[in-house]
Structures are given as structure tokens and as C-alpha cells.
Amino acid sequence: MTALFDIPIQALMGQLMLGLVNGSFYATLSLGLAVIFGMLNIINFAHGALYMMGAFLAWMGLEYLGIGYWPSLILVPLAVGLFGVLIERSMLRWLYKLDHLYGLLLTFGLALVIEGLFINGYGVSGQPYQIPAELTGGFNLGFMFLPYYRGWVIFASLLVCFGTWYGIEKTRLGAYLRAATENPKLTQAFGINVPLMVMLTYGFGAALAGFAGVLAAPAIQVSPLMGSHLIIIVFAVVVIGGMGSILGSILTGLGLGVVEGLTNLLYPAASATVVFVIMAIVLMVRPAGLFGKEK
Amino acid sequence: MSRQAIAYIALLALGLLAPFFIYPVLVMKVLCFALFACAFNLLLGYTGLLSFGHAAFFGTGAYVAGFAIKGWGFPPELGILVGTAASALLGWAFGSLAIRRTGIYFAMVTLALAQMVYFVFLQAPFTGGEDGLQGVPRGTLLGLISLSKDINLYYFVLAVFVFGFCLIHRTIHSPFGQILKAIRENEPRAISLGYDVAKYKLLAFVLSAGLAGLAGATKTLVFKFATLTDAHWHSSGEVVLMTILGGMGTVFGPVVGSTVIVSLQNELADKVGSLVTVILGSIFVICVLLFRRGIVGEISALYKRMIGA
Amino acid sequence: MKCKLLNVALAALLIPAATTAWAQSKPAAMKLSDNMIKIGVLTDMSGVYSDLGGQGAVTAVQMAIDDFKAQYKPKFAIEMVYADHQNKADVGSNKVREWYDTQGVDMVTDLLNSGVSLAVGKVTQEKKRIAIFVGSGSTRLTDQDCTPNTVHYAYDTYALANVAGKAIVKNGGDSWFFLTADYAFGHSLEKDTSDVVKANGGKVLGTVRHPLNASDFSSYLLQAQASKAKIIGLANAGGDTINSIKAASEFGITKNQQLAGLLMFITDIHALGLQTTQGMLLTSGFYWDKDDETRKFSKRFFDKTKRNPTMVQAGDYSAVTTYLKAVVAAGTDEAGAVMAKMKSTPINDFFAKNGKIRENGRMIHDMYLMQVKKPSESKYPWDYYDIKAVVSGEDAFQPLSASQCPLVKK
């Protein structure tokens, strides 16, 4: 165990912070997946592509229209959400009566199309997005250096995640949503427009992905491949957490980000695989996932 | 002879003559992917399990065979056997984990496990990382036939394909295959009939993984090369696309699907560049929305309707 | 049943197939009598290295072909094909195999990315054509993986380490931590630089590897920071180098540690700006503003592409010209004869000074130690470098006696 104590506190805190940053992306994305899955019974493979689209729209807004970071943080999720609504209306709705696997396949195809279009337009190397002026620089906390922007990413995504949790668990609209998830026919019978809710849910999930994309743009390279790198880890996160609970997916996302950060410190070679190893272990011990309910 | 037998013989004749008219390396690539897709179809089409991680087995077959031939100096036939066995073993490990979940979860679990394999190949010392495992010699088959000539290798690859195809054909028409179909149609019913469903699923998974490995190992011989592309999740997606486009649950579907996709990629790569991905993705979407039976499925449905009319 | 029948039929066909000499009917190489020389440009069109080769490389090769035609009026046609290898060794080698088999390509060049080049080298040797590596850096190409059919043209990692790496250690940068692109080029650059650092009394404290085209360098840089090394050696290139330098400044690492970009191209300096890069030492085999000849070529190149040429793009032009001259001199496009001509003829053009191709395929020529100017010293656009020293090819590149290439007779 001496190896642990040899590690300078600066490196430890630094990696923990990066882990939290990644964890916030995992949390936001897996939350979106869980919300969509709850309502549509579809695993949205296009989620990574929507996240990438969010980052790219932010970059394009700045590059071509001069729209800055802060307006983008609102406008881009709206645009991506709208795009999600279009997908739901034009394609996904035709698949609800079929095996759920078709939803996965369709969204996989969509992910390829979106990714391919951006690769064709911008190549695979990333585009730089400047950190907004208000957030450049960082605190020197003595034991570590915290860039303001990374701190903001953690704060903003936690805010959105818990806002979503509150909205679903504690508000009337959320209650309708939960009811429609539980029993769509009965909910419809009570006069609630379930197809509309389904559409809005998908739009909202897409918007969450777009939001994460805007948050990520200044922190990493805006590249057409950024989504597909992430989506598979997020799938593993979803399997580990189980999609039963909103809070569960937020906590699992954050937790796994931190675990990854620590692995980076202790045994960097395993940092890319640690999430998948955890997934395998969870599957052996608790196949339904940490927060999942066995159907 | 039945009509079906004539079809088989016509196809075989086509396979035997193809290299005299088409660039043999391209046809060999088609054959490798066709075998890969047939193996995958055994799982998706006949057992109802959507694995989104089959590239792991394809890649494992490719790397292990490549390393056995290059690193240990194995002859090609033995190298391919070792690669196939390694994939089957990995299939057993992954299968045991993945069949604990069903449906969408099954797909996600296989995808995540395959991604783990991808990272292992990226970092393991014997794979050459991003450079790939280069310069695998084609060697001499059984110490007699030099495979360095494209035409000799071609007939070897064709033989491997025919072997794999026949094995799959045999399997789906055996009692074992009937039980798999029963599981696909109605799993609780199969359980209530007293079948150990998990065992059958696992067996199908292992068989499918092993054959995918055989395809990967053969591909290594063709290109003298095993790379990360083989194990990348894009390859997993491609094989799903080939199977669905051709027609899942049909015998010839995956062969047709892979022929179409590989030739499309080959034709389009120079002309439209990265738009190939967009085209493939669109085909995927169109298939799922409109032609869920795939090319072969739609044609045979049409044929049946005409006979019926 | 059916299958058994098929297997028997197949077995019957396999044996005669083995003895047919199908391949013999194909000509081994295009004769010049076919009146065609075809040059393939294999490069990175859309990835991290597209700025240093890419479309600019295609332009440079086309310029070389046009100039050659205008000057020498050859009696044969010269054509160019190009393709994107996407930085994937399999994509590249399959493409080149197809070019050789079906398109009659005689020579392939640019070849950014050492992993791709190693694979292309093997196919080229097998098919007895010629490949000239301009964009890739790994010394393996002329060391253990050398072939009689390949030339390594512009630079290599040994020269990078031996020119700028040495200068940095001599300036007091004696403890290093490497941030390495995890493939052939990065490994080679890390190894060659480590050797130079140790030979000059420095220490290597550690290394961390990142994938090619990495999206986020922060966690790697934190590891480099924790090492407390004076110098963080960036054993990567192109977009990866640019991103590591940016991330380092975000995390305040540049305050206490110094970054050493071991392979920096002028397009990287252009992208990062002088404010960030001033004072850096680097190695290059070409600078557009070195003399009148380089300025003349660069002006023409700039008019076509709106950028000044990198060492790779200028090298492409020079390599193609050298090859075409050798074809004319040899009177054939047979690879062995052309290679012999190229190896026996000294190269002196706007790109290469005192150049010659050694028996292991290494083209040695004068290399330059550059220092990036301060913003205040830069007088006009793209005025970025001071030439600090000229290092002769013999001194810059690995001595032949140390080469493990079996072609070197000892």
C-alpha cells in the first residue's frame, strides 16, 4: 500500500477532479439514456452523436454566426432537442410496436449518418473551442491547480442532473411521465396525451446530450468522433447502474468517472478498461445492475 | 436434384470462377466477411440474440492466428485453428456473462465487453498497438501449397468459407437448431418444455464466436495483417448491417448482405470518401424502417406470394 | 449431403489450382515502353496530420510532375493517384496493394504516419515497386525494417533527437518526462530522444502514452506534472502536439516545466501562434524562408494553397523529382534499376542540401536547428524561425555503422 502514499497529493486531487469532470459527462448522458429508455423502451445509440452534435453546433455557432458560449448553452440544447423531436416523429414512432432491438438498430444507423456527415465536413481531427473569457485561468489551491472551466463543468452538469431528478420525481409533469412509463394505456385513458409526452421525452433526452456537448466543447477537442468514444462507456455505466432509477444513473456516472481518474493514477494502463471490468463483475454479482430492479 | 441444390451448385461455380474476372483479393475479403456475417446470423437470426460485440471474436481470431503464424512460426492451417479456438474460448467467457441479460441489455453488454477487448489489443505488447500486427507470412498449406500466390490462397479461402457455411447450414437444420429457433420464438415456452435454455444459448454463442474467429483468422492470411479495425465496434456494427440488409434468419442473406456492403465500400471509398459511412448508415435506417426482412427475405416473400397467386 | 458433394468438388479443384501458374501471366513490373509512370500519393487527408501533408502533399506532387514535364519533356506519360489512409495501417497497405495489383502504380510517396509506412514498405518489397517515405519519422524504416525498395527521405526521429533534443539537454534541460503518441513513430521518437538525453548526462523520469488523435490530454499532463521533470518531451506530432501544448497552458504546467515539441512543423507554429511557442528549439530539414530558392518554391506553393509548405510537402516535391530523374537516367521503371540510380546520384535542390541516399534507404542531407522567434522579432507573415545551426547529414542522422539494416555491408 506504500504506493498510495508515494503519490503526491497534487496528482491525486488533479486526477480526482478530472474523474469528476468525466463523471459529470457520464452522468448527464446516462441520465438522458435512462429517461428515454423509461418512456420509449429504446436504447438511444445516437446519444453519442447528439452529444457530438451539441459540441459542433456550439463551435459552428461561434465560427459562423458569432454566437458565444453562454447563449449556446441555452440555444444548442434547444436545437438538438428539436432535432430529437424530428427523429422521433419521422422514424422512431414507427417502431414502437416492434421488438425494442429495432430502435437500437435504427439509432445506430442514425449515429453513423450524423457522424459521417460531420467527418465529411470537418475531418476527424478536432476543432479548437476557446474557453469563455470569464472562465479562463484557475485557482491555485496550494495542493492543486483547478482550472475554473473544469470546476464549472462539474457544477453545471450536477445542477442539470439534479434539476432533472427533481422535475421527474417531485413535479406534476414528472408524475404524468412516471405514470406513462408505468402504464401508458391507463395514463392515456386519464386524458393525458401520451404520444406527445413520448415525443417531448425523446426531445428532452436529446437536449441533455446536446447540453453535455456544449459543456465539453471547450474542455476537449470538438471532433466528430468524440461521441462514439463516449457512448460505449456510457452503455457500460447504464448496465452497471441499471436503468431503474434516475438518481442511480447520476451516482453511477459520477462514481465511475472518479474510479477512472484513480485508475489513471495507480495503474494508467487499465484506465481505459476499468469501467468494463467493473461491468463484468457487476453482471456476475448483480445482473440487474446496482440500482436496477429485476423484471 | 432439387431447385435448392441447383442454386448451391451455381453459387459454387460462381465462387470457383470469380477470381478470373474480379480482383481476387477483393473476392477473398467478401468471403471472409460473408463467413463472419453467417456466423453472426446464427446468433441473431436463429437464436434471437443481438450481439453488438462480434468484432471482438473476429479480431481475436485475426490477432491470435497472426501471432501464432508470425511469432511461433505455425503453418497457416494450424494458425487458423488456434485463432478459431481462441475466439471460441473468448466466446464462452463473454457468452456466460452476457446471457445473464436479454434483449437490449444483451446488446449493450456484448458491446461493452468487446470494447474492453479492443483496448486490450490496443495495449497488449504482442499486437503492435495502432500499427497492427504486420507482415504475417501466408506460408505453405500443409507444407505443400504455397499460399503466397493470390490464386492459391483464394481457393483455400473459398474452401474455408464453404466449410463454415456448411457447418452453419448443418447446425440450423439439426435438432439443436430447432431448439434454438424455439428459444427465439418463445423463450418461456422452451423453458417450460424442460430445455436448459441458458446452455443452448451459450452453445450457440460459442459456435458463432468460433466461426467469427475463423473468418478473422482467414482475413489475416489474406491481408498478412491483423489490425485494430478488425476489433473495433464499427466492425461489429458492419456485420449487423450485412446480416440485416441481406436478411436475418435466412441462409443466404448474410452472404448477399456482405457482398453488397464490401463491394459498396470498395467502389465508393475513392469516390465519396468519408460519405461511405453516411451511405451505410442510411441503408441501415432504411432497412430498419422499410425492409426488415432484408434482400433475401423480401425476395423469398415475393416469390411465395407469386406462387400462392 | 449437398455440402459433402461440394467439398469433394472443391478438393478436386484445389490441387490443380495450386499448380496452375496463374500469377505468371501477370507482368512483374510495368516497362517504360508502356509509356506511363504512375505515382501514388498516400496521405492523411482529414486527420491530425492533414495539415502537414494532406491536400498540400497532393499539390506538391502535382507541381513536381508538371515541372518535370515542362523541363525534361519526357516521352512517357506521368500520372498521379492519391488516397487517404486515415492513419490506419491496414487501410493504407490494402490501398497500396490494390494500386500495385490493378492500377500499375510504380511509386508511392508522402506516406505520413510511420505505422502506415511500415506496412506499405512490406507490400512494396513484395510487389517490387518503390516507396519513398517523406512524412513518417520512425528510424525502423531504415533500421530493422529496411527494404531494398524503399527510401526514407526528409527526416527521422534519430535526427530530431540528435539536433534539437541534444541542444535542449545542453541548455540545462537534464530531466525529462515523455508524452508519447502510442504507435511506431512515437515509440521511435521517445527511444531516440531518451538515448540522446542519457548520453548527454540527463535523466528520463518516466513516460506516458496517449492514443493517436487523443481528445483530451489533461490526465496525461497531470502525470507529467507529478513527475517534476524539467522538460516534458512531446513525442507526438501534428494535431496531438498542438493539443498537448494548449492543455499544458490551461493547467498552468508551463509555469514550472518546459515543453519540448520534438517534431514541430511550421503549420503547428502557425496554428499555436508565436506567443505560445516563442523560444522553442526544434529540428527541421526545410524552412521556406531559408534562401532565395526555398522562397521561390514556397511562393508558388503558397499561391496554390494559401499556406507555406511544411518540410513534408517540400520533401514530396523533391522526392518525386529525384525519382523521375532516376527513371529517365535508368531508362526503365524497373524498381531495382531505378533504386540503384537514385542511390548513386547526389541530391542537391532547393529542399535537400548535400543529399545522398545511403544503402539502407536513408536520404541524408543538411538539417537545421531552429528557434521560434519572439512575437516582437517576427517582421512579416510566417516569419517564425531563426536558424541557429546547420548540422550536416552525416552528423544529424544515425551513423551507418549503427544501422541494423541487413542491406548495410559491414
pLDDT for residue C321: 95
Reported as a single tens digit per residue, the pLDDT across C321-362 is 999 999 999 988 899 999 999 999 999 999 999 999 999 999
ipTM of the complex: 0.88
C-alpha cell at A225: 468522433
Task: Give the number of other CB atoms < 10 A from CB of residue C336.
Answer: 14
Question: C388: helix, coil or strand?
Answer: strand
Mean pLDDT of B57-71: 95
Q: Dihedral of the CA atoms C45, C48, C52, C56 (nearest 10)?
A: 20
- Whole-angstrom CA distances from C85 to A208, B227, C111, C139, C317 are 35, 14, 9, 21, 20
Assess A121–B contact: CB distance below 8 Å, yes or no: no
| Residues B147-176 pLDDT 10s | 888 889 999 999 999 999 999 999 999 999
C114 at the B interface (CB within 8 A)? yes
Distance CA B223, CA C123 (A): 10
Q: What is the pTM of this model?
A: 0.86
Closest-CA distance of chain B to residue A9, Å: 28
Q: For C237, how many CA atoms within 13 A lie in the half-sphere containing its CB? A: 32
C305 touches chain A (CB under 8 A): no
Task: Check residue A132 and report its DSSP letter.
Answer: P
Residue-level pLDDT at B96: 93
Measured CA to CA, the distance from residue C83 to residue B135 in angstroms comes to: 22
Label residue B130 exposed, middle or buried (CB < 10 Å: 0-12, 13-18, 19+).
buried
Task: List the grid coordinates of A17.
Answer: 477532479
- A260-285 pLDDT, tens digit each: 988 888 887 788 889 988 988 888 88
Among C251, C256, C272, which would you mutate to test the A interface (most chain A Cβ atoms within 10 Å of its Cβ)? C251
Residue-level pLDDT at B309: 61
For residue B147, the model assigns a pLDDT of: 85
Q: Which of B52, B49, B55 lies closest to B110 in space, CA to CA? A: B52
Backbone angles phi, psi at C77, to 5 degrees: -80, 150
Calculate mean pLDDT across residues B118-125. 88
pLDDT digits (tens, 9 = 90+) for B202-215: 999 999 999 999 99
Residue C34 has pLDDT above 80, yes or no: no
Judged by average pLDDT, the poorest of A19-23, B8-12, C229-233 is B8-12
Confidence of residue C105 (pLDDT cuts 50, 70, 90): very high
Lookup: cell for B35: 463467413
Task: Reply yes or no on whether the pLDDT at A10 is more than 80.
Answer: no
Q: Do C213 and A11 touch (CB under 8 A)?
A: no
What is the length of chain C?
410
**What percent of chain C stands above pLDDT 70?**
91
Nearest to A162 by CA among A2, A5, A27: A27
Reduced to 3 states (helix: H, G, I; strand: E, B; else coil), residue A42 is coil
Mean predicted confidence (pLDDT) in C200-207: 92
**Cα C46 from Cα B186, distance rounded (Å):** 48
Intra-chain end-to-end CA distance of chain A, in Å: 41
Q: What is the mean pLDDT of chain C?
A: 87
Is the distance from CB of A103 to CB of A92 less than 8 angstroms? yes
Q: Which residue of A has its CA nearest to C46?
A: A123
Element (H, E) at B237: helix B233-246
For C157, list phi and psi in degrees, rounded to 5: -65, -30
The mean of the pLDDT values for chain A is 87
Q: What is the pLDDT of residue C25?
A: 36
Other CB atoms closer than 10 Å to residue C175's CB: what's the count? 16
What pLDDT sits at residue C239? 85
What per-residue confidence (pLDDT) applies to C3?
Answer: 52
The share of chain C scoring above pLDDT 90, in percent, equals 63
Whether the predicted pLDDT of C21 surpasses 50: no
Partner-chain contact B103 A277, CB within 8 Å: no
Of C7, C94, C182, nearest to B223 by CB-CB distance is C94
Per-residue pLDDT tens over the stretch A49-66: 999 999 999 999 998 999
Res. C163: pLDDT tops 90: yes
Given CB atoms, is A88 within the 8 Å cutoff of chain B?
Answer: no
When pLDDT is averaged across residues A176-196 and rounded to a whole number, the result is: 85
Return the number of other C-beta atoms located less than 10 Å from residue A165's C-beta.
Answer: 17
pLDDT > 70? residue C24: no
Q: How close is the nearest chain B Cα to the Cα of C218, in Å?
A: 20
Tell me the three cell numbers of residue B51: 450481439
Asked whether the predicted pLDDT for residue C2 surpasses 70, the reply is: no
The mean pLDDT value for A126-134 works out to 83
Chain A residues touching residue B283 (CB < 8 angstroms): 109
Residue pair A129/A222 in contact (Cβ under 8 Å)? The answer is: yes
* Res A7: pLDDT: 64
- Residue in the structure block whose three cell numbers are 444513473: A249
B16 CB burial (10 A radius; 0-12, 13-18, 19+): middle
Closest CA to C216 of A28, A132, A271, B119: A271
Give the pLDDT score at C212. Answer: 83
Residue B146, pLDDT > 90, answer no
Using an 8 Å Cβ cutoff, are B197 and B183 in contact?
A: yes
Of residues A123 and C26, the one with the higher pLDDT is A123
**Among A17-21, A226-230, B171-175, B253-257, where is mean pLDDT lowest?**
A226-230
Minimum distance, in Å, between the CA of residue B99 and any CA atom of chain C: 32
Please tell me the distance from the alpha carbon of residue B33 to that of residue B219, in angstroms, as a whole number: 8
Give residue-wise pLDDT tens across range B183-202: 888 888 988 888 889 999 99
Question: Averaged over B279-292, what is the pLDDT?
Answer: 90
On whether any CB of chain A is under 8 Å from the CB of C238, the answer is yes
Torsional class of C349: left (φ above 0), alpha (ψ -120 to 50), beta (otherwise): beta
pLDDT at A42 over 90: no
Burial classification of residue A191, based on how many CB atoms lie within 10 Å of its CB (0-12 exposed, 13-18 middle, 19 or more buried): exposed
For helices C311-330 and C335-344, give the axis angle rounded to 10 degrees.
110
CB A264 within 8 A of CB B97: no
Residue of A nearest to B51 (CA): A101
